[in-house]
Amino acid sequence: MRLATLTAALACAANGAYMGVNPVSRVVELLKGLSKKAEEEHDTEEGLYNKFVCWGKTTVEVKTASNEVAKTRTDALKTYIADIERAASSLQQSA
């Protein structure tokens, strides 16, 4: 039984060597596959990063504009309140 297993293993090894598949070429093929996969993942990650940067810039621009509008409104309301307080004060003084 051992002899048959050993013979089969040697035959497979010889067949693989004959077909051009050896450990070095196999490692080279694995590294080529890994390199291709890394490049694909890089492209995917780069696309996601660019989308994130675009979202961030848009969000900052929108929030900045919104804050400016709110500041203008706040200033207008403060002026309005001050006018009402002056009017109330002058009404109290005349009464």
- How far apart CA 35 and CA 41 sit, in angstroms, is 10
pLDDT of residue 91: 82
- How far apart CA 39 and CA 31 sit, in angstroms, is 12
- How far apart CA 67 and CA 6 sit, in angstroms, is 79
Give the predicted TM-score (pTM) of the model.
Answer: 0.53
pLDDT tens string 10-19: 566 555 555 5
| Location of structure tokens 């050896």 | 22
pLDDT tens string 13-63: 555 555 567 999 999 999 999 999 999 999 999 999 999 999 999 999 999
Tokens representing 70 are 């709110």
More confident residue, 10 or 6: 10
